[in-house]
Amino acid sequence: MKKASFLNNPYFYVVLFVALNMAASIFYVSPNFQIAGDALSYNESIRYLEGQTLEGPLPLHRLITTPLLLVSATVIDFIVNNPFVSLAVINFIFYILMALVFYQFVFEIYKDNKVALLCTILLVSNYHILNLDNFFIADMAGRFFFILANLLVVKYFMSGNKKYYYSTILVSVIGILFKEFGALGMITLGMAVLCMQYDWREKIKLILKASVLFAIIPLLLNLFFYYKFHFSYLDWYIYSSFNHPVGAYGLSVFIKVMGWVFLVGWPLFLWGLYKEKEFFDKQRVKILGILVPASLSFFAWPMFTYRTSFVLLPLLCLVSGFGLSKIKNKYVVALLVIFYLAVSYNLERLLVIINLPF
């Protein structure tokens, strides 16, 4: 008797793992979660869009940076009548979509289901996804559009088909209206064009065309916003640059953030780099290379935080998952994955013990 067809479908296991992670997040990772911080300003923004009177100032920075997320949450809120639940629903949907798209993204590069599944487990089980704080803010949507755009760029790079070029621009435009992260695929697109077999004149033309097509809607949005509220994204960026906490940008903070973002995954990453060298593939190395600039774009933000530096994680998981797949003993692989999960699930507790004193 044949097994049910869905049991042979790797996407079934991705969705199942996401569901298990969500249960672990609610009942173990963040059992004492309290709504605070950025979630409150998102709540106020949704109430404003619903026509309610706000007690405090209008959070303009949320409206300018996440308009589509807020509109989506407002639509759902007509049903659930709870802005925080509405945001959680949006984030959970994008969590599932991000996992599925990342699996396809990895498979597009490595053409191996095992590598794709291992990489996806590393990504979706990261503590900074499992922490419930991320289910009441906009980051999950931005991450989804970032990864989806990267997938389209890889398809464009490998096939030369212009439909993926234009699709990347469209996805990035939609993405930036959910969260700034959603626009980072444009950096990857520019890098891909530079590495493709075009002459320099054509490369410059393609990059300029992509930039103009991408910029139209965000520019119009900012002009409208400035006309209506005398506020733009530039104002928000300048404000953030000069009002970040003391010591939020420096080598010691960078070391901490990099450690906390991947922690026990870093040895896997180094092992993966070694295996990438051993199983060298010129085209794959080019693809990994064009992913680097967007993955390091968190340096452009005025401070180091786990949320902004998360854009580095997909690249780390790509290399680490490939390294894991090259370990021949499946029991060793299983133990390493279990250890990674155990640390992710307990990172908040471990930070009290291993936090650096500087």
12-42 tens-digit pLDDT: 889 999 999 999 888 888 777 777 778 888 8
Q: How far apart are CA 61 and CA 229, in angstroms?
A: 11
Average pLDDT over residues 137-165: 94
Give 214-263 pLDDT, tens digit per residue.
999 999 999 999 999 999 998 888 887 777 665 567 777 888 888 888 98
| Structural domain boundaries enclosing 79 | 5-354
**Half-sphere exposure (Cβ direction) of 193: Cα atoms closer than 13 Å:** 23
Q: Is the pLDDT of residue 355 over 70?
A: no
Predicted local distance difference test score (pLDDT) of residue 29:
86
Predicted local distance difference test score (pLDDT) of residue 1:
46
The helix (H) or strand (E) run that includes residue 296 is none
* Positive/negative CA dihedral, 328, 330, 336, 340: positive
Greatest mean pLDDT range, 122-131, 194-203, 296-305: 194-203
Q: Is the pLDDT of residue 356 over 60?
A: no
Q: Is the pLDDT of residue 357 over 90?
A: no
Structure tokens at 154: 């890889």
- pLDDT bin (cut points 50, 70, 90) of residue 139 is confident
Higher pLDDT, 335 or 299: 335
Closest by CA to 54, choosing from 39, 33, 40, is 40
The pTM (predicted TM-score) of the whole model is 0.93
Please count the structural domains in the chain: 1
Q: Which of 132-146, 204-218, 337-351 comes out lowest in average pLDDT?
A: 132-146
Where does residue 2 fall: left (phi above 0), alpha (psi -120 to 50 degrees), or beta otherwise?
beta
Torsions phi, psi of 281, nearest 5? Answer: -135, 115
Q: How far apart are CA 71 and CA 63, in angstroms?
A: 10
Predicted local distance difference test score (pLDDT) of residue 121:
95
Q: Is the pLDDT of residue 358 over 50?
A: no
Whether residue 43 contacts residue 83, with contact meaning beta carbons closer than 8 Å, is answered with: yes
Q: How far apart are CA 181 and CA 311, in angstroms?
A: 8
Give 56-85 pLDDT, tens digit per residue.
788 998 999 999 999 999 999 999 988 888
Q: How far apart are CA 105 and CA 98, in angstroms?
A: 10
